[in-house]
Structure 1
Amino acid sequence: MMHTATDLNELAHQALALMRGAGFDDAQVTASHTGLHELNVNHNEPSLLRSGDTRKLVLLGIVDGRMASTEVADLSPEALRERIAGLFDDAQAAPQDDANAVSSAQHARIVKGPQQPDLDVLAGKMRELLEFRARETPRMMVDEADAKHTLVRSHTLTTRGSDLAASVGSYGMGVFGTAREGSRSSSFNYTFGSADELDGAHAADWFGIGQMLRDTEQQIETEPVGARFVGDVVLAPNAVESLLEWLLGQLADTQLIAGSSLYRDSVGQPVGSPLLGLRSRFEAAGCAPLSADAHLAAPVELVCGGVLRSLTPSLYGSRKTGLAHVPLGQGWELAAGETSLASLVAGVERGAIVGRLSMGMPAANGDFSGVIKNSFAIAGGARGPALAETMISGNMARMLRDITGASRERQDHGALLLPWLRIANLHFS
């Protein structure tokens, strides 16, 4: 079994040599090994303690400006040679595109996070979770939950001299479930996250787990929103994530290359409320400052005081659009505000606390309509009953401009650190 950095290094060099020998003009190879130790819960009961190893190669080759890529799980020399030969044929049949390229002269050796699992910690956190559920939220059914340790080792090489190796360990917990009483039940709810350690807090205090369980119990009984109106939302971190994903998509390759980004020409201009601040968190638990196109990712501030500071094209997107390349790792944080969550809610005359947004792809201009889930009405500045399926509609770009409050509290999920946001002018029905 392959478990060491030396093994990955040797496999990556072997694969790159085979790619060169097959006739590729340029190539990128990533050898990776993921080790997982996980304790699972199903229907409020511990169900499985397991460990697993996943090893694979990701290969990308370019010939005459034509590119193809593949993943390989069978790492035997014969299977690897056969797959690389097929990849060469795939590349020759691909469309020619001068923007295809691999990274050059990138070098890194990264070791971060816990490199070995502590199984007693996993068992202890799961015990805390189940005891909390039984004591504090007995109507909650934990349909699925896990406590785990993950170690991801990788080694990436390119024919242009890049050599990037990483070993990233982290702990994680996730909980998914519904609350039930008799024949009635809530909508499903969930939360999860990663951390470098779990000993520093009770299981219920990680990733908003305890609050999620309490809120879900209170969502067994729901009431309709009533007549249509225009009001405010207080987006919880799970819902804020949907808004963040839309914004990041507007700044990245797909929209930039298609010419459909609303912010293509907005660098240096306000794109949101002065309360909006977005910067990278590439060193967060379970993350590494390495991009998918094999570059070191320097810290980046995308939005400051509502002003857009940068777009985020990849190497390919940069060569396609002429915009500066901005390598991205994983991990983002939105700036905290100076207002308590309680004060955010108290400032809303009519609206809702939104736990989760369920919507399709917004229109090209940002217009959307969707169902708010795991949500509570707000009337006169006070949280009211849980809402039956309620629709909101608006425009994603306008939502960024209509942020009227950001909480000083933030939920840390590892790759995401997010506040609650109060946003005006949403249409309820």
Structure 2
Amino acid sequence: MPSAINNSSSTHEPQNDDPDSTTYRQDLHPIADDPFEQHDVVVVGAGPSGLFCALKMAQKGIDVLVIESGSAISESPRAIAYMPIVLNEFEKVGIFDDLVELGHQNNDGIQFRTPHNKGDELLTTVKLNLVPKSFKRYPFIGINTGQDRLAHLILKHAQRLPNFHVKFSHTFAGVQQDDNGVRITAVTSRGEKYFAAKYLIGADGAGSSVRRSQCIPFRGFTWNDFRFMAVNIEYDFASHGYSTGVMVVDEEDWAVIARIDKEGLWRVAFGVRCSIPEKELLAQLPEKLERLMPGPRPLNYKIVAANPYWAHQRVAEKLTSGRVVLTGDAAHSNNPIGGLGLTTGLLDATALGNCMIRILTKNEPDPAALLERYSTVRKKAFVEYTNTASIENKLRLHCQDDEFKTKRAAFIKNITDDPEATINMAKAMNEVMDDDFEE
């Protein structure tokens, strides 16, 4: 907020306690001729995808600024599972060991079960632990931890680098570009700030302001049968035979239940009918959990956080607009069942980071063509794998039409009877997703 004006004076000099502010003369003209703070790349959005892309670039000497509208990394319950195809990329940038220490290792796979009120029957267990290309096997099939903890971990590593910068409470407001670079406006509580860079990366989520600034349509649909509720809960699911990840199959009381950390915090994510008013969602939570959760009654649990949200299946018409490039949820959005959204976003960030390294440090002969290839390949990966697989994952849990009943039965039988089934599933993911545009 502006400081109070002293009516006894005809001039007013703004306070200058903001370390990022420009020093002003009394006539309010900036001393500096160029108000634009210079960087090689500006990334909008301090989620895991944006921070991971920034870390990759900064490790190769690229000067990177991340701006984020929030005052800190978002703590909202979101993604929690990181598969081998992503862990492989974490090893390359040196955050894998810290993530292993921070998170909970999934050693027992993903169970498919019925809810408590339908007998809590174990239907089958899936294990996916192949790493692309080398097909190296980790001693676990994945690591679980909250998306916010991953973002904090990446940020901690990035802040060790002198050419990495982050500014919170800076809201992207607009961009202009020409053949030489981009000029960006951000809004803060102390006024507008200006940045110049060679490229702008939009990693600012499904409601991306960067994408909207380029008038890029976000094609697809929003689910209108259920909206999602993500609940962080303290409860000992493991003592009732639940693996680290559980898919609960039911027409109404379907859910995903997964352990988040070593301390015993779990995520219960489920669907609620769109006809239920948002103000009533929390009031109906105990009844929903009573139908879902295993164990003797009365249940003894503690809800730590709860977050309702809408799920989408959408993709940007293109991921590049000149020197403006989209990644993560800014480029595509899908429902969270199966953990493919952030997986795809982190692989986007891997590919885009490597593209920028080639362009800015290795004299890539045709940068525009490389970024166009990034747009084509990463959009194809979403459309042909992530979008299709995540839709099937959701419908597999609850859809009751004859086609999906048949598909569900065949899936469960295949996983149960064929030892190679999970290997084939992992290979299918790797073949489509593993194109990281190596440096």
Report TM bin, short chain.
Answer: under 0.3
TM-score, normalization by structure 2 = 0.26
TM-score, normalization by structure 1 = 0.27
Greater strand proportion: 1
Greater helix proportion: 2
